[in-house]
């Protein structure tokens, strides 16, 4: 039995990045040998075990054979005769196909260390095309490693484009598309996820609502970058800067301007009413990918209300209260923080505006606190009951917000 550290732990150690998960491959062993040593089996499709002390994953070396379409269309073979090189050969990228022996020696049959130095995301073998999830994974790794200068190897991009043309990507299940997208939105440069998918031709298949934004012009005096697709990329990266690792804010950034793709050609580059027009395509995307409820709800609020937030300092106090109430911000202040992060990302995600101040966020946070400070107790003491208390509290909250606005004028 020989045990090797594999995958992300080896890659990230070589890159000097923090290691999150330690995965191991076991060569020359049978399941009963690991069971005898106290390992706990967890794999359904192939033998994976958890270490009795550390809880880290140990998988028997295995090979795989394509048997059908999609992520599940594989047959796996694991026995003591499968070599480490055979196991590494089934992996997606060379930088993920490096193993480390227990004495620290690296096993690198596909020159993953060379690709780390060259900053290349390159496939291990032509079998890459057999699993459509790999296309999403490459785009996600691009989002993670783009700040380090990584790009997709031309020959790998050619395979990804082939996967789209041959329809292999059509067999991706919505849950897996969302899983990879959610991870990408939490990476350091999520715009790279969109660019890689778009170059491969996959963005139009998986996210047609987003793909449709490219080439749609905006008014240059407000959007010097002009192209709406480029703007969305900038907003995504600004969201990653303002709320690092938060995929809820990232999803709001991704979908906030979907309505601009629906603007009539004769109205361009103006986009009157795009914030409301974007709700329907957003709802379609959410339903298709089975996006979680909270992501969907907050994204719809950002889509519909982001222009109101940008002009928050000009809004009537009653409108501000309505906005806060639509967010349920009085009971859930953390939700307001996420909402404002996405709106700020939109405002600053424009060419030349990345370091702009966004006082609207501070104002709305203070307005929320002022409104939340209004209590029902004084009105109950006055003898008010039922709806009358609610009406009195609403009026008092409007007055509190109006007073706040006057104090900072």
137 is annotated as contributing to ligand binding? yes
What is the rounded CA–CA span in Å between residue 78 and residue 47?
A: 7
Q: Are 82 and 62 in contact (CB under 8 A)?
A: yes
The CA-CA-CA angle for residues 265, 270, 271, to 5°, reads: 85
Instruction: Dump the DSSP string for 2-44.
Output: EEEEETHHHHHHHHTPPP---EEEEES--HHHHHHTTPEE--S
The reply, when asked if residue 21 is annotated as ligand binding, is yes
17 marked among binding-site residues: no
**Is 79 assigned to a binding site?**
no
Residue with tokens 């911000």: 329
Q: Tell which residue, 131, 113, 181, 372, has the closest CA to residue 122.
A: 113
DSSP 376: S
Q: Residue 36: is it exposed, middle or buried by C-beta count within 10 angstroms (0-12/13-18/19+)?
A: exposed
Helix (H, G, I), strand (E, B) or coil at 217: strand
Q: Whose CA is closest to 112, among 12, 199, 260?
A: 12
Helices (H), 146-227: 154-165, 174-185, 191-200, 203-206, 208-211
How far CA 228 is from CA of 88, 204, 231, 354, 373, in Å, comes to: 41, 15, 5, 16, 40
What are phi and psi for residue 306, nearest 5 degrees? Answer: -65, -30
Annotated binding site for CTP: 8, 11, 91, 137, 140
Annotated binding site: 8, 11, 21, 23, 91, 137, 140
Annotated binding site for Mg(2+): 21, 23
Annotated binding site for ATP: 8, 11, 91, 137, 140
């Amino acid at each position: 039995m020989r045990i090797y550290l594999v995958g992300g732990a080896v890659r990230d150690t070589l890159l000097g990045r923090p290691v999150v998960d330690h995965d191991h491959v076991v060569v020359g062993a049978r399941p009963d040998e690991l069971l005898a040593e106290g390992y706990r089996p967890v794999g359904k499709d192939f033998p994976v075990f958890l270490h009795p002390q550390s809880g880290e994953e140990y998988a028997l070396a295995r090979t795989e054979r394509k048997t059908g379409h999609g992520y599940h269309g594989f047959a796996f073979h694991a026995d003591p005769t499968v070599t480490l090189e055979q196991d590494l050969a089934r992996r997606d990228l060379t930088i993920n196909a490096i193993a480390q022996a227990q004495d620290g020696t690296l096993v690198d049959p596909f020159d993953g260390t060379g690709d780390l130095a060259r900053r290349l995301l390159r496939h291990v073998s032509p079998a890459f095309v057999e699993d459509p999830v790999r296309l999403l994974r490459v785009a996600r790794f691009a989002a993670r490693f783009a700040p380090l200068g990584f790009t997709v190897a031309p020959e790998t991009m050619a395979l990804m484009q082939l996967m789209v043309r041959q329809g292999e990507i059509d067999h991706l299940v919505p849950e897996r598309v969302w899983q990879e997208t959610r991870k990408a939105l939490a990476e350091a440069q999520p715009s790279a996820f969109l660019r890689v998918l778009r170059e491969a031709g996959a963005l139009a298949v998986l996210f047609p609502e987003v793909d449709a934004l490219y080439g749609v012009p905006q008014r240059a005096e407000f959007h010097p970058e002009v192209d709406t697709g480029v703007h969305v990329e900038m907003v995504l990266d600004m969201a990653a800067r303002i709320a690092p690792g938060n995929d809820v804010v990232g999803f709001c950034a991704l979908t906030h301007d979907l309505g601009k793709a629906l603007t009539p050609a004769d109205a361009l580059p103006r986009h009157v009413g795009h914030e409301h027009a974007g709700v329907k395509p957003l709802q379609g995307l959410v339903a298709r990918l089975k996006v979680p409820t909270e992501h969907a709800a907050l994204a719809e609020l950002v889509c519909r209300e982001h222009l109101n937030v940008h002009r928050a300092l000009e809004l009537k106090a009653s409108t501000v209260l309505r906005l806060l109430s639509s967010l349920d911000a009085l009971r859930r202040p953390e939700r307001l923080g996420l909402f404002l992060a996405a709106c700020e990302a939109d405002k600053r995600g424009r060419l030349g505006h990345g370091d702009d101040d966004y006082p609207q966020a501070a104002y709305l946070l203070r307005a929320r606190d002022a409104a939340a400070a209004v209590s029902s107790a004084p009105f109950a003491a006055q003898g008010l009951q039922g709806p009358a208390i609610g009406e009195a509290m609403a009026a008092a909250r409007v007055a509190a917000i109006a007073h706040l606005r006057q104090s900072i004028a």
